[in-house]
Each structure stands twice: as C-alpha cells, then as structure tokens.
Amino acid sequence: MCGITGWVSWTQNLSKQHCILENMTEALTHRGPDRDGMWLTKHAALGHRRLIVIDPDGGKQPMIYRNGSYEIALSYNGELYNFAALKKELMDNGHQFMSSSDTEVLLHAYLEWGEACIERLNGIFAFAVWDERNEQLMLGRDHLGVKPLYFANRGEDIIFGSELKAMFAHPEVEPVVDQQGLSEIFGLGPIRTPGQGVFKDIEEVRAGHYVTFKKDTRTEECYWMLDSHPHPDDLETTVSTIRSYLEDTVKQQLVADRPVVSMLSGGLDSSGLTAIAGNEFSEAGKTLHTYSIDFENNEKDFEKDFLRGDLDEPWVKKVSEEVGTNHKSVVLDGDELVENLLVPMRARDLPGVGEIETSLYLLFKEMKKEATVALSGESADEVFSGYPWFHQEEFLDADTFPWLMNMSGISDILSDELKGRLDLSNYQKERYQEALDEVPVLAGESELQAKQRRMSYMFITRFLPFMLDRKDRASMMTGFEVRVPFCDYRLVQYLWNVPIEMKNVDNIEKGVLRRAFEGYLSEDVRYRKKSAYPSTKDKEYLKRVQEWMLQILNDPNSPILPYINVEKTRLIAEGKDENLQGSSAKGLLDYLIQVNAWLVEYNIRVTL
C-alpha cells in the first residue's frame, strides 16, 4: 500500500516544481514509510510514497514506460490480486517485464487496453496515469472504494492525492468549507456522500469509477456497478459458490513479501477468514498470527445489550486454539483512547466516530510491530445483509438512511442560526433520494424484497465506504495494510442477488455464510449471534471526554461555538441531559471535540 499524489497543468511548465511536489509527497509519508519517488515533466508531476509489500526492488514508483518520443507514468496505491493472471495474458500478447511487481502489470495493462484496463482488475487500488501521447490524466479507483483518491480542478490544473492533506500542501488548494460541506459534517456525520470531498471544490473519485482529463475536457465513467437479476442457484450451490469465492480470494490476498497476520474478533466473519488463512499457513508449514482488541476491565464493566450479547475474548481464544494460531490480545485503557482521540481525525482530514476509530488505530499500531499486512472481516454484514435493520419495518419504511434515524443528537444541539442556514432535513432527504434513484431494481420482486434491496444498496454504497475509509486511514496512519476479502467484487455482485431469505437460512442472520464455513469452524462458533465491534465501558473515559468538551465550551475562541447550542451541549458535557447518557453522549462528544480540533488544526475558512 502506498500514497499517491500529483499535479497536472496544460499551461504551466512543471518540470522545476520539485519543492511543491516534495511537500505534497511528504504529507503522505505515513502511508508509505519505506520509500519515496517523484517524476516531473513539462505538464505533469507525480509523487509517490511506498509501503513495500511485494517485490521490494522492482516496484519503485512513479513507474515510467518510455518509447522514444513519449513517456507514460503511473503512480499507484493498492494490490492487484489477479496480477499473475494478467501478467501471463500480457506476456502472451508480447509484453516484457523487468520485475515481479503488480505495479508493472498495471502499467502494461494500460499500455495494452488503455482506460479499459480497469475493467480487468481485481483488487484494491487507486491510481493515476499520465499519458504523454495525448496529454491525458486518468484517475481510477477500485470497485468498492477501499482505497481513497481525491482531486481538485484549479483553473487549467488538476491536483490530486490519496488524502486531502497532500492536496493542501499545494498552494492553490485551500481548506475552505462552504454550506454543502457543513451540511455533510453536521447533517450526515461521518457517513458522507460518495464523490463529496467536503472541502469546497474538492471531489472524490467514486468507487467503481474513473475520471479522465484533457486540456479542455473531463470525462467520468462508471466501469462497475451492481447488476440486478434473478438468483439462479439453489441453496446448496449458493453455499458452495460463496465458499469457493472466499477460499480463492483469501488465498490471493495472502500473497506478500512481508509478514501477513489476521484480525480475529471471535465473531463469524473474522473467524471464518482466519480459519481459511490458517489452513493455507498450515499447508505451507507456517503458523498464522492473529490479533484481537479488548479494553481494560472489560469483563467487569461488560453490559449485555442489543449490539453485544457476550464477551468476545472467550470466543477469540476458542477460535485461536481450534485454528492453531499464535494469538495476541491488545488491551487498551481509557487514557490511551483519550490521548489518541484526534489521531484518526488527522488521518482522515475530517471528523470521524471517535473512540472506535481510535482503538482501531492503536490495534494497527501494535500489529505493525510484527507485520505489514492483515486480513479483516470488514464488510460481511453489508454484503450478506446481516444488520437487524434489514428486517425492521420502521427502518425499511423510513424516508432516510437508517443510521440517520438515531442521529438526532447532533441536529438537536446545533445553533438556531446554523439550522436556519443549512436546512439539514432537506439536505438529508436529497442525498437519500439520490441514492434511491441509483438502485438497480428487479422486476417481479415483492414489496418487502424491493425494500430490502434498497436497504442493501444503501449499505453497500453509503455505509460500507465509511467503514472501509476508517479502516484504511487508521491502518495507513501506521504504515500498515489491511485487506478485506469480503469486498471481492465478484462475491459482492453474486450476493447482491441472493434473496435475503436464503442469506438468512436456518433463521439466523448470515446463515448462508455460516453454512459456507462448515468444516472450518466448530458449530458453536458458526452459530454465535452477531456481536458489534467492541467499545470501552470505562467511565473514566467518558469523564475525561466530558471535561475536554467543557474546556472547549469555556473558551470563547473555540471555533465550534457559533455552530452549536452551547447551553444544550453543556448539559450533555455535565451529564445532565436525560436523553443523552453513556455511550450516546460519549459518541456525540467525541465527534464535537474532533470538529473543533479540525477547524483549528486545518485552519479552515468557513463560507456561508
């Protein structure tokens, strides 16, 4: 994994702009701590920071193809899991290779098929290609949006980067937030609109899309989207197909020249992937190392609720013993979480969800000591329709995103002036309607099935990008790569048309996945009820967050004050709001603290 950035201008000579490009590239050092690279020519300047995973010597970037009168340059972030098959096809077509890296395969794929090469890729990626033959820039992003990529049009120039901070290192890109950006921050929270960069005139390449730029034209193409059709397979065939996809993608995603480990929560998703990976390791005569996260005094403080039915650690231990992994549990305390609360915000360049992201970052930081790559069970609930919302009428019949129905805390504490200017309710409805209009409907479905398909689309195209982004940023902040087998686009497309009744066979969420893991996991592990990502119950953590928020409220220079109702927020920070207590109050305060720090640290200019 890496960080990419660059600058293209059809009117300026960029060949001497080393200083600006160096600043942009250095801003991404955390994404690629192993090596840097820059390439400048008259109209293009590409930068790269490399995290070495495959072919340490042969994968240097930017990678350049030279053919006498022209050059084609590639800066790429990601992993192509099918690069060996692509390489063979390209060699059969006469291409010659100097390395064993997937970067060179991608470059030659572009030479062979042009922009259409992206349709042949299976992996997680974001890349930029500058083609001198027609003075064209191509920006491409993977099917599900695992790897980030932003861009901004400034006059005759295009400036891009894996993260916003790389773009802010360019003098033409200022951190300005307008009415739409504030609507994203306060109306949608951390689960934002695809394509929206939040900052004024900054965009995000959407998942499954690529954008090409020439001097006077910009073209955006969707190369992949979900396709609705009747599911042709019976239950037995469906289980077998899912199992086959998972075995294949895990095997592909274990390929690396650096140590690979696995995340293990004791839940179905990570346990199943760990079992498949552990089997591959065992056949190679090796032992898989696994990691879980826990919190100090968690056993004592644990309270059963609708999200968490029991403790994870006993299940983690059981799966580790059954699979034969070398396991480490990373135990965090409240002080660590508070002290690192702002790190994920700095990784995202945007406010996030607080303590949950902080714990992920600290987990990856510990894993980085031993490895460079990890497998994660992220996205199984989205693609297997595993959340309770898929079966609850109040959410299926709602005219908004299901996660916004429980987000009233933010809108309730905003200042009257801000609410009057933004009309957040209408903004939320417009974004929801946009998503509805995209849903590929299937004729002949019942009303309930159609509603569940719409719900599935919301989670795959809106909620999942947020989950993937938080994992990418939390891991890459430590120079660590996380791979997500459940995001293999072949599996996602297949599952899109599997009826929910079949997904929930045996009258349990993700029942079809539980069957697919038969033989890999014991029955009690396979049929353990879903338990959400763990969260600290440490009362000291909440106390310190409340104190932090009170400090912000008591400082007249705090930039967040004009946007919130100070007195209502003070009641929450003092623990006196009867409607917002415990984890709900903690989540809201985490977010507001991040928003305030974001406004300060990024020196944001707000225009309303």
For 224-266, what is each residue's pLDDT tens digit?
Answer: 999 999 999 999 999 999 999 999 999 999 999 899 999 999 9
Question: pTM for the whole thing?
Answer: 0.96
Q: What is the structure's pLDDT at 324?
A: 97
Domain count, the chain: 3
Q: Is the pLDDT of residue 407 over 70?
A: no
Q: From CA 543, how far away is CA 586, in angstroms rounded?
A: 9
pLDDT digits (tens, 9 = 90+) for 92-101: 999 999 999 9
Bridge partners (DSSP) listed for residue 211: 139, 220
Where does the pLDDT of residue 1 fall: very low under 50, low under 70, confident under 90, or very high at 90 and above? low
> Do 166 and 39 reside in the same domain of the chain?
yes
Any idea which residue has 């974004």 for tokens? 431
Q: What is the structure's pLDDT at 539?
A: 85
Query: Mapping DSSP to helix (H, G, I), strand (E, B) and coil, where does residue 591 land?
Result: helix
Q: What is the mean pLDDT of residues 9-33?
A: 97
Task: Let me know if residue 107 belongs to a domain.
Answer: yes
> Do 404 and 280 reside in the same domain of the chain?
yes
> Do 31 and 110 reside in the same domain of the chain?
yes
Of 222, 243, 273, the residue that ends a domain is: 222
Alpha helices (H) in 500-538, listed in sequence order = 500-503, 511-516, 523-526
> Do 382 and 360 reside in the same domain of the chain?
yes
Q: What is the mean pLDDT of the chain?
A: 94
> Do 16 and 160 reside in the same domain of the chain?
yes
Where does the pLDDT of residue 64 fall: very low under 50, low under 70, confident under 90, or very high at 90 and above? very high
Torsional sign, CA 107, 112, 113, 118: negative
Task: Let me know if residue 430 belongs to a domain.
Answer: yes
What range defines the domain where residue 163 resides?
2-222
Q: What is the structure's pLDDT at 309?
A: 64
Q: From CA 58, how far away is CA 104, in angstroms rounded?
A: 8
Bridge partners (DSSP) listed for residue 173: none
Enclosing H/E stretch for 222: strand 218-222
For residues 101 and 62, the answer to whether their CB atoms sit within 8 Å is no
> Do 422 and 514 reside in the same domain of the chain?
yes
- What's the one-letter identity of residue 602? Y
Q: Is the pLDDT of residue 608 over 90?
A: no
| Two structure tokens written together for 131 | 């083609």
Where does the pLDDT of residue 306 fall: very low under 50, low under 70, confident under 90, or very high at 90 and above? low
Q: Is the pLDDT of residue 516 over 80?
A: yes
Task: Let me know if residue 532 belongs to a domain.
Answer: no
> Do 411 and 366 reside in the same domain of the chain?
yes
For residues 462 and 435, the answer to whether their CB atoms sit within 8 Å is yes
**At 519, which CATH number?**
3.40.50.620
| Two structure tokens written together for 373 | 């790559």
> Do 245 and 188 reside in the same domain of the chain?
no
> Do 102 and 206 reside in the same domain of the chain?
yes
Enclosing H/E stretch for 447: helix 447-458
300-307 LR contacts (CB < 8 Å, sep 24+): 301/537, 301/538, 301/539, 302/537, 303/537, 306/388, 307/531, 307/532
Q: From CA 299, how far away is CA 474, in angstroms rounded?
A: 26
Q: Walk across the sheet containing 218-222 and list its strands.
A: 63-67, 70-80, 123-131, 136-141, 209-213, 218-222
Q: What is the structure's pLDDT at 529?
A: 86
Where does the pLDDT of residue 82 fall: very low under 50, low under 70, confident under 90, or very high at 90 and above? very high
Q: Is the pLDDT of residue 301 over 70?
A: no
| Two structure tokens written together for 138 | 């191509």
Task: Let me know if residue 228 belongs to a domain.
Answer: no
> What's the full length of the chain, in residues?
608
CA proximity to 64, closest of 121, 25, 117, 110: 110
Largest Cα–Cα separation, the chain: 73
Q: Is the pLDDT of residue 580 over 90?
A: no
| Two structure tokens written together for 254 | 């274990």
pLDDT digits (tens, 9 = 90+) for 422-480: 999 999 999 999 999 999 999 999 999 999 999 999 999 999 999 999 999 999 999 99
Where does the pLDDT of residue 302 fall: very low under 50, low under 70, confident under 90, or very high at 90 and above? low
CA dihedral 270, 276, 281, 282 (to 10 degrees): 120
- What's the one-letter identity of residue 228? S
Any idea which residue has 């003092």 for tokens? 574
> Do 313 and 427 reside in the same domain of the chain?
yes
Any idea which residue has 């720090």 for tokens? 597
Where does the pLDDT of residue 536 fall: very low under 50, low under 70, confident under 90, or very high at 90 and above? confident
Of 526, 548, 583, the residue that ends a domain is: 526
Q: What is the structure's pLDDT at 52?
A: 84
603-606 LR contacts (CB < 8 Å, sep 24+): 603/175, 604/175, 604/176, 604/177, 604/559, 605/174, 605/175, 605/176, 605/177, 606/176, 606/177, 606/178, 606/182
CB atoms within 10 A of CB 603: 10
Task: Let me know if residue 229 belongs to a domain.
Answer: no
| Two structure tokens written together for 460 | 């795959």
Q: Is the pLDDT of residue 409 over 70?
A: no
For residues 588 and 189, the answer to whether their CB atoms sit within 8 Å is no
Burial class (CB in 10 A: 0-12, 13-18, 19+), 559: middle
Of 469, 491, 526, the residue that ends a domain is: 526
Q: What is the structure's pLDDT at 241?
A: 98
Residues 6 or more apart in contact with residue 385 via CB below 8 angstroms: 452, 455, 456, 459, 500, 503, 504, 509, 510
Q: What pairing do the DSSP bridges indicate for beta strands 209-213 and 202-204? A: unpaired
Task: Let me know if residue 7 belongs to a domain.
Answer: yes
**At 198, which CATH number?**
3.60.20.10
CA proximity to 146, closest of 460, 405, 419: 460
DSSP state string for 546-576: HHHHHHHHH-TT-TTGGGB-HHHHHHHHTT-
Region of 314 (left: φ > 0; alpha: ψ -120 to 50; beta: rest) is: alpha
> Do 404 and 460 reside in the same domain of the chain?
yes
| Two structure tokens written together for 461 | 């195209």
Task: Let me know if residue 230 belongs to a domain.
Answer: no
Task: Let me know if residue 531 belongs to a domain.
Answer: no
First to last CA, the chain: 38
Q: What is the structure's pLDDT at 178?
A: 97
Q: What is the mean pLDDT of residues 286-297?
A: 94
DSSP state string for 283-295: HTT---EEEEEEE
Query: Mapping DSSP to helix (H, G, I), strand (E, B) and coil, where does residue 196 land?
Result: strand
Q: What is the structure's pLDDT at 581?
A: 77
**Which of 398-407, 429-438, 585-594 shows the lowest per-residue confidence on average (mean pLDDT)?**
398-407
Where does the pLDDT of residue 297 fall: very low under 50, low under 70, confident under 90, or very high at 90 and above? confident
Q: What is the mean pLDDT of residues 64-91?
A: 95
> Do 164 and 250 reside in the same domain of the chain?
no
2 given a catalytic annotation:
yes
